[in-house]
């Protein structure tokens, strides 16, 4: 047992070194920075460091805009998570019902969406929905309509883009999961006279549950931190910042203005919120008798 | 529902999903006056390579392309090696703090990358003082951060594959007198190859698509910029060169797509494995 | 494994450090005479001619200095704050020479980004307009060579005005009714292309009302953007970004470049543009059918105080090639190349003799020189200004008013609070 541990740590050393040096240490620095008044002058050594303790956090929580943005972020992430889960699950099920060629066509399209770099993807969508030259307005006969001006159409457009590039992960994973269910199980259910819908609900779904949980957590983590899409598509957070989400807010309000301490505090708060959401979700599952 | 109907629906959905990509490629091939037209058409009768020419020649696109490939490949190679060892340790051995480590892998993924740019910036600056190649303004700095950010997910994913290899195999190998080291590289490594491939795709995408770090770390060295930044050249204060942007995006998306399609089968089993483990 | 060893080094560093990093951007002391000069210039509307002039200058410079190459990158004005900040934070990776706006000077110098220049050995420097050279000074030291003076005036479409039988506005109050009338007659056209983020177009409206955005009291600034006069100016400007003149859906997100672009596409009857925009307008749909008048003030015959903009060329502190960089700055900002830039872009030169010479030969410059003569104003000269600009405090204020998210009172109050917070820090 002791020997096992030693070998295990031997194998883990490279990973621990990289993660420790390049992830854990910066995270530690991030927390540290969030406790200081740390602006451009402090960075360049022109002004002494002042320890603020929780000062940055107090400033942040006292900002009305922070709460608005936090609410927007949660709502936006929720729409994206639910959207990509629904679309991904539905299409995964669809994939099991069609012949290989049709599935390949859908997979190819989905992999295309998945592999498009966020910057390029956002730009393409922006171009498709351009007020004057966009194909969507041409088809809808609404030339001149600006999708990115109104707060809600802008959010909707970005959410659609995010779902577009994140549902393939859900779809591919769940499809693989369904495929991994032994056919005998499904056949047995069919022999018992269960309808297709019954089989789906009482046999397939429970078997897929662990998989769904992981997919959901990953989606929450990704969608809560959306940055590129909002930054590119709403030009840095929309008119008067009304399309801000936390990540972009941190970037705009804090890093652009060199309030690194405050920006770091937002980062820490975001991590805490994400952790809280995940823990809450896992505990809710546990109460239902599920284990990860 | 009939299979035929379902298949038609599938194809229609695939069409909708692929449409933005179709539009990208189409716009890349359209002549300049058709790209920005008040009357956009979903086809072109005069395909032209002008946009590609502009994208490839005006700025040193080739250079950026090579930079992106180099960074992504090094990240893939290193992250495969490191995550394979780590995943083996995490599945094949029981030791204290194993669960803690697993949870940490999930937690570090929750920290917003953007917030970490500032500490990482200063870290890379210090690294640069010791080893210039890994400092700011150099591709090495990008390799390091992408490696760090792709590892947690890679380890998480490979775990399932390693777990799927029967323990009896290891016992048999040990009985045959194979050293732990030989077992690792000659038995286990080939067996989890599909998982390694799936992991490599995701690491590749991670490094390939990055915009933020390339923008922050490559301060003034134009020769060390990567592809996503090259695209920004065509975003202009007056009228964006949409044709060139679309041509550039096309060129940027193709390698990933090819990679993806090649390993599609492994990816499917890979993701399922990751999740089951 | 090399990587391993070096990550281990990092690990040691982690233990040692217990406070966030601090550093002084120090000058390297080295002064190499060969190698590559990295230059940052601003990207702008219709950049081609600017690039051509710069290429000429580089060719001349490279042929005069063997073993020297010059690499120019055109950076976006919008994202300049992050670019420069990154460069200042790692002097080793910074460019050697950069173009920057005079409003950023105070902030950049206090961040220790630029090195002061000794222009005494440069013969042409004595002809620089003294007030213009002042915009390159902090505490008496010169940190850049003024490359051009940027002053804005009112561009209008002569054909549209003639067709409707109207005259260019004579007072600030006339602009909105005229713009409204044009849009009524020509619904496809913007009465005036005025952007919600176009601060330098909005400022003259505030100044013309006798207001200002801040006042200095012995070097300590306080915001006055919520004063009655300033509020009147903000309201006047916001009136332009309305559906009956310049619909917010199209205009609220626009800054200066996008506003001028609206005029260039021929879809706007007026805009507020700079001398530096002139050549790009000549190469656009509005070519040959536009005129320029000074932006009128409150009363007939008066001119609204304009923002005294302009860009400087400076040498960054971290450069390894200070002499070469200074020489390159002096070449690109020389009379010869300023004249070329004038011909290429319309940029108003910073040398008094060159200025006079071009003004005499070119009637086009009249409205701009008239505006300059009638008095210009500037943004608060304090390092805090960089922060206020980076936070987009004032553009956000204008956007809030034009979209109706807040009324003028509330929006200016929020902006004033944000400015005061920046001044205090």
CB contact under 8 A, A14 and C196: no
pLDDT digit string, tens, across residues C12-35: 444 444 667 776 555 556 788 899
Evaluate if residue B206 carries a pLDDT over 60: yes
What is the distance between the alpha carbons of residues B231 and B233, in angstroms, rounded to a whole number?
5
Chain A contacts of B117, Cβ < 8 Å? 255
* ipTM exceeds 0.95: no
Q: Is the dihedral of CA A28, A31, A32, A33 positive or negative?
A: positive
**Radius of gyration over every alpha carbon of chain A, rounded to an integer in angstroms:** 23
DSSP label of C37: E
The residue extents of the domains of chain C are 32-150+309-373, 152-306+391-424
Interface of B with A in 52-81 (CB under 8 A): 81
Query: What is the pLDDT, as a whole number, of residue C16?
Result: 41
Evaluate if residue B219 carries a pLDDT over 90: no
CA-based nearest distance C223→chain B, Å: 30
What is the distance between the alpha carbons of residues B87 and B184, in angstroms, rounded to a whole number?
12
What is the distance between the alpha carbons of residues B181 and C395, in angstroms, rounded to a whole number?
63
Quick one: fold of C32-150+309-373? D-Maltodextrin-Binding Protein; domain 2 (3.40.190)
Query: What is the pLDDT, as a whole number, of residue C5?
Result: 45
Spell out the residues 6+ positions from residue C414 whose beta carbon is closer than 8 angstroms to its own. Answer: C397, C400, C406
Which among C135, C423, C389 has a CA at the least distance from the CA of C256?
A: C389
Whole-angstrom CA distances from A133 to B27, B35, B218, C235 are: 12, 8, 34, 32
pLDDT digit string, tens, across residues B132-154: 888 888 999 999 999 999 999 89
CA-based nearest distance B42→chain C, Å: 25
Residue of C nearest to B131 (CA): C6
**Class of the CATH-defined domain C152-306+391-424:** alpha beta
Whole-angstrom CA distances from A6 to A9, A38, B93, B151, C242 are: 5, 41, 10, 22, 71
CB contact under 8 A, A150 and C85: no
Query: What is the pLDDT, as a whole number, of residue A208?
Result: 83
Does the CB of C8 have a partner CB in chain A at under 8 Å? yes
Spell out the residues 6+ positions from residue A109 whose beta carbon is closer than 8 angstroms to its own. Answer: B13, B14, B15, B17, B18, B21
Sequential DSSP letters for C320-387: SBHHHHHHHHHHHTSHHHHHHHHHHH-PBPSBHHHHHHHHHH-GGGHHHHHHHHT-EE----STHHHH
Evaluate if residue B104 carries a pLDDT over 60: yes
Does the CB of B145 have a partner CB in chain A at under 8 Å? yes
Residue of C nearest to B147 (CA): C3
Residue of C nearest to A264 (CA): C20
Mean pLDDT of chain B: 85
Chain A contacts of C250, Cβ < 8 Å? 131, 146, 149
Query: What is the pLDDT, as a whole number, of residue B130?
Result: 86
Does the CB of B211 have a partner CB in chain A at under 8 Å? yes
What is the distance between the alpha carbons of residues C239 and C156, in angstroms, rounded to a whole number?
18
What is the distance between the alpha carbons of residues C319 and C28, in angstroms, rounded to a whole number?
7
Spell out the residues 6+ positions from residue C33 whose beta carbon is closer than 8 angstroms to its own. Answer: C65, C67, C68, C321, C323, C324
Query: What is the pLDDT, as a whole number, of residue C403?
Result: 92
Mean pLDDT of chain C: 89
Chain A contacts of B9, Cβ < 8 Å? 94
Does the CB of C85 have a partner CB in chain A at under 8 Å? yes
Does the CB of A260 have a partner CB in chain B at under 8 Å? yes
> CA C407, C408, C413, C414: dihedral to nearest 10 degrees?
60
CB contact under 8 A, B219 and C83: yes
Interface of A with B in 228-247 (CB under 8 A): 228, 246-247
pLDDT digit string, tens, across residues B151-190: 998 998 888 788 878 888 777 777 777 777 788 888 888 8
Here the CATH number for the domain that contains residue A88 is 1.10.3720.10
CB contact under 8 A, A17 and C11: yes
| pLDDT confidence bin for C419, thresholds 50/70/90 | very high
Least CB-CB distance to A115: which of B101, B109, B257?
A: B257
Spell out the residues 6+ positions from residue A67 whose beta carbon is closer than 8 angstroms to its own. Answer: none
- CB contacts < 8 Å between B and C, how many? 71
Query: What is the pLDDT, as a whole number, of residue B58?
Result: 63
List of chains touching C (3+ CB pairs within 8 A): A, B
Which among B244, B186, B258, B201 has a CA at the least distance from the CA of B58?
A: B244
Has residue A47 been placed in a domain? no
- Show the domain range for A227: 60-287
The residues of chain A scoring below 50 in pLDDT are 1, 292
Chain C contacts of B237, Cβ < 8 Å? 43-45, 76-77, 257-258, 261
Evaluate if residue C1 carries a pLDDT over 70: no
B-side interface with C, Cβ within 8 Å?
A: 78, 121-123, 125-128, 130-131, 134-137, 215-216, 219-222, 232, 235-239
- Kindly give the pairing relationship between strand C306-307 and strand C376-377: parallel
CB C262, CB C240: distance < 8 Å: no
Which among B259, B258, B248, B257 has a CA at the least distance from the CA of B25?
A: B248
pLDDT digit string, tens, across residues C238-289: 999 999 999 999 999 999 989 999 999 999 999 999 999 988 899 889 999 9
Query: What is the pLDDT, as a whole number, of residue B274?
Result: 55
Chain C interface disruption, residue of A59, A257, A262, most C CBs within 10 A: A257
| pLDDT confidence bin for C9, thresholds 50/70/90 | very low
Query: What is the pLDDT, as a whole number, of residue A236?
Result: 84
Does the CB of A132 have a partner CB in chain B at under 8 Å? yes
| pLDDT confidence bin for B39, thresholds 50/70/90 | confident
pLDDT (mean) for B49-74: 85
Query: What is the pLDDT, as a whole number, of residue A289?
Result: 61
Which among B207, B205, B209 has a CA at the least distance from the CA of B267?
A: B205
Does the CB of C119 have a partner CB in chain B at under 8 Å? no
DSSP label of C300: T
Evaluate if residue C331 carries a pLDDT over 60: yes
Query: What is the pLDDT, as a whole number, of residue B188?
Result: 86
CB contact under 8 A, B18 and A112: yes
DSSP label of A23: I
Chain A contacts of B85, Cβ < 8 Å? 11-12, 14-15
CA-based nearest distance B139→chain A, Å: 16
Has residue A129 been placed in a domain? yes
CB contact under 8 A, B93 and A5: yes
What is the distance between the alpha carbons of residues B214 and A273, in angstroms, rounded to a whole number?
28
b vs e for A67-76, b when ≥16 Cβ sit within 10 Å of the residue's Cβ?
A: eebbebbeeb
pLDDT (mean) for B11-26: 95
- CB contacts < 8 Å between A and C, how many? 110
**At the fourth CATH level, which superfamily is domain B60-276?**
MetI-like (1.10.3720.10)
CA-based nearest distance B84→chain A, Å: 9
Which among B151, B255, B259 has a CA at the least distance from the CA of B267?
A: B259
CB contact under 8 A, B238 and C94: no
Query: What is the pLDDT, as a whole number, of residue C8?
Result: 44
Query: What is the pLDDT, as a whole number, of residue C293?
Result: 96
Interface of A with C in 219-248 (CB under 8 A): 235, 239-242
Spell out the residues 6+ positions from residue C351 whose beta carbon is closer than 8 angstroms to its own. Answer: C124, C127, C128, C129, C335, C338
What length does chain A have?
A: 292
CA-based nearest distance C32→chain B, Å: 18
Does the CB of B178 have a partner CB in chain A at under 8 Å? no
Same fold: C32-150+309-373 with C152-306+391-424: yes
What is the distance between the alpha carbons of residues C392 and C415, in angstroms, rounded to a whole number?
10
Evaluate if residue B65 carries a pLDDT over 60: yes
- Please give the tally of structural domains in chain A: 1
Chain C contacts of B222, Cβ < 8 Å? 38, 71, 73
Evaluate if residue C4 carries a pLDDT over 70: no
DSSP label of C124: G
Evaluate if residue C383 carries a pLDDT over 60: yes
CB contact under 8 A, C112 and A44: yes
pLDDT (mean) for B199-226: 86
Does the CB of B27 have a partner CB in chain A at under 8 Å? yes
Does the CB of A45 have a partner CB in chain C at under 8 Å? yes
What is the distance between the alpha carbons of residues A36 and A52, in angstroms, rounded to a whole number?
5
User: What percent of chain C is predicted at pLDDT more than 90?
Assistant: 67
Chain C contacts of A17, Cβ < 8 Å? 4, 7-8, 11
Chain C interface disruption, residue of A29, A33, A40, most C CBs within 10 A: A40
> CA B197, B199, B201, B206: dihedral to nearest 10 degrees?
-160
Query: What is the pLDDT, as a whole number, of residue C10?
Result: 42
Neighbours of C54 (CB within 10 A): 22
Neighbours of C165 (CB within 10 A): 6
Least CB-CB distance to A49: which of C20, C24, C249?
A: C20
Query: What is the pLDDT, as a whole number, of residue B270?
Result: 66
Residue of B nearest to A29 (CA): B119
What is the distance between the alpha carbons of residues A156 and A235, in angstroms, rounded to a whole number?
15
Has residue A115 been placed in a domain? yes
Residue of A nearest to C112 (CA): A44
Lowest mean pLDDT among A8-22, A25-39, B30-44, C179-193: B30-44
Evaluate if residue C317 carries a pLDDT over 80: yes
Query: What is the pLDDT, as a whole number, of residue C13?
Result: 42
Sequential DSSP letters for A188-257: HHHHTT--HHHHIIIIIHHHHHHHHHHHHHHHHHHHHT--HHHHHHTTTTSGGGTT--HHHHIIIIIITT
Chain B contacts of A19, Cβ < 8 Å? 108, 148, 151-152
| pLDDT confidence bin for B68, thresholds 50/70/90 | very high
């Amino acid at each position: 047992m002791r020997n096992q541990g030693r070998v295990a740590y031997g194998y883990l050393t490279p990973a621990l070194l990289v993660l420790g040096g390049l992830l854990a240490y910066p995270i530690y620095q991030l927390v540290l920075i969030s406790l200081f008044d740390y602006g451009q002058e402090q960075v360049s050594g022109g002004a002494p460091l002042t320890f603020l303790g929780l000062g940055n956090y107090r400033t942040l929580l006292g900002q009305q805009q922070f709460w608005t943005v936090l609410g927007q972020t949660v709502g936006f992430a929720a729409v994206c998570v639910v959207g990509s889960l629904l679309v991904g699950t539905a299409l995964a099920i669809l994939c099991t019902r069609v012949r290989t060629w049709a599935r390949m066509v859908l997979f190819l399209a989905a992999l295309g969406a998945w592999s498009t770099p966020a910057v390029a993807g956002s730009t393409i969508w922006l171009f498709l929905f351009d007020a004057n030259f966009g194909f969507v307005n041409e088809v809808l006969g609404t030339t001149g309509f600006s999708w990115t001006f109104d707060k809600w159409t802008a959010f909707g457009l970005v959410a659609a883009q995010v779902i577009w590039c994140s549902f393939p992960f859900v779809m591919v994973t769940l499809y693989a999961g369904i495929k991994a269910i032994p056919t005998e199980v499904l056949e047995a259910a069919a022999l018992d006279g269960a309808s297709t819908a019954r089989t789906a609900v009482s046999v397939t779904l429970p078997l897929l549950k662990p998989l769904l949980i992981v997919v959901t957590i990953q989606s929450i983590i990704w969608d809560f931190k959306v940055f590129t899409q909002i930054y590119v598509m709403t030009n840095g957070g929309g008119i008067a910042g009304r399309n801000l989400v936390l990540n972009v807010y941190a970037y705009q309000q804090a890093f652009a203005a060199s309030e690194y301490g405050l920006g770091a505090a937002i980062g820490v708060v975001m991590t805490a919120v994400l952790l809280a959401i995940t823990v809450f979700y896992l505990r809710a599952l546990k109460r239902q008798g599920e284990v990860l | 529902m009939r299979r035929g109907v379902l298949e038609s629906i599938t194809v229609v959905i695939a069409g909708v999903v692929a449409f933005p990509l179709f539009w990208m490629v189409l716009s890349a091939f359209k002549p300049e006056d058709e790209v920005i037209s008040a009357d956009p058409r979903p086809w072109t009768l005069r395909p032209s390579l002008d946009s590609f020419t502009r994208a490839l020649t005006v700025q040193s696109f080739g250079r950026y392309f090579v930079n992106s490939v180099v960074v992504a490949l090094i990240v893939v190679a290193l992250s495969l090696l490191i995550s394979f060892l780590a995943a083996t340790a995490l599945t094949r051995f029981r030791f204290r703090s194993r669960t803690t480590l697993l949870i940490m892998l999930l937690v570090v993924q929750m920290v917003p990358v953007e917030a970490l740019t500032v500490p990482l910036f200063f870290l890379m600056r210090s690294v640069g003082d010791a080893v210039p190649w890994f400092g700011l303004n150099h591709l090495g700095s990008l390799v390091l951060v992408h490696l760090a950010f792709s590892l947690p997910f890679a380890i998480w994913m490979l775990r399932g594959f390693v777990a799927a290899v029967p323990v009896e195999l290891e016992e048999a190998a040990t009985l045959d007198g194979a050293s732990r080291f030989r077992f690792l590289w000659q038995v286990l490594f080939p067996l989890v190859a599909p998982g390694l491939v799936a992991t490599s795709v995701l690491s590749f995408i991670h490094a390939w698509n990055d915009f933020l770090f390339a923008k922050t770390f490559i301060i003034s060295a134009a020769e060390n910029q990567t592809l996503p930044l090259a695209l920004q050249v065509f975003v202009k204060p007056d009228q964006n060169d949409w044709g060139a942007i679309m041509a550039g995006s096309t060129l940027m998306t193709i390698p990933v797509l090819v990679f993806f399609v090649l390993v599609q089968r492994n990816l499917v089993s890979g993701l399922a494995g990751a999740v089951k483990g | 494994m090399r990587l391993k060893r070096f990550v281990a080094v990092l690990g040691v560093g982690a233990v040692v450090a217990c406070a966030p990093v601090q550093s002084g951007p120090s000058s390297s002391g080295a002064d190499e005479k060969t190698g590559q000069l990295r230059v940052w210039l601003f990207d702008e509307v219709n950049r081609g001619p600017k690039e051509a002039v710069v290429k000429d200058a580089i060719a001349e410079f490279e042929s005069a200095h063997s073993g020297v190459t010059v690499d120019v990158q055109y950076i976006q004005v919008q994202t300049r704050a992050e670019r420069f900040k990154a460069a200042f934070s790692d002097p080793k990776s910074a460019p050697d020479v950069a173009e920057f706006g005079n409003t950023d000077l105070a902030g950049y110098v206090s961040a220790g980004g630029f090195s002061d220049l000794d222009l005494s050995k440069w013969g042409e420097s004595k002809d620089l307009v003294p007030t213009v050279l002042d915009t390159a000074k902090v505490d008496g030291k010169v940190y850049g060579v003024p490359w051009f003076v940027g002053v804005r005036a009112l561009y209008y479409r002569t054909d549209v005005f003639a067709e409707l039988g109207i005259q260019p506005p004579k007072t600030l109050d006339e602009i909105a009714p005229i713009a409204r009338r044009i849009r009524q007659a020509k619904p496809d056209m913007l009465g005036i292309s005025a952007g919600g983020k176009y601060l330098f177009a909005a400022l003259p409206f505030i100044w013309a009302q006798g207001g200002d955005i801040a006042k200095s009291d012995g070097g300590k600034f306080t915001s006055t953007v919520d004063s009655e006069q300033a509020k009147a100016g903000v309201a006047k400007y916001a009136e332009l970004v309305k559906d009956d003149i310049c619909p917010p859906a199209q205009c609220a997100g626009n800054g200066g470049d996008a506003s001028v672009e609206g005029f260039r596409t021929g879809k706007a009857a007026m805009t507020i543009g700079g001398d530096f925009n002139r050549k790009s307008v000549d190469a656009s749909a509005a070519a040959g059918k536009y005129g320029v008048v000074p932006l009128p003030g409150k009363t007939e015959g008066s001119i609204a105080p304009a923002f005294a903009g302009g860009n400087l060329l400076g040498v960054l502190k971290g450069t390894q090639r200070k002499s070469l960089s200074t020489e390159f700055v002096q070449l690109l900002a020389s009379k010869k190349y300023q004249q070329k830039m004038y011909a290429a872009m319309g940029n108003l030169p910073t040398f008094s003799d060159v200025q006079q010479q071009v003004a005499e030969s070119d009637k086009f410059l009249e409205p701009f020189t008239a505006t300059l003569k009638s008095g210009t104003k500037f943004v608060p000269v304090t390092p805090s200004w960089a922060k206020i600009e980076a936070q987009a405090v004032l553009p956000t204020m204008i956007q809030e008013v034009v979209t109706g998210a807040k009324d003028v009172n509330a929006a200016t109050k929020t902006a004033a609070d944000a400015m005061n917070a920046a001044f205090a820090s």
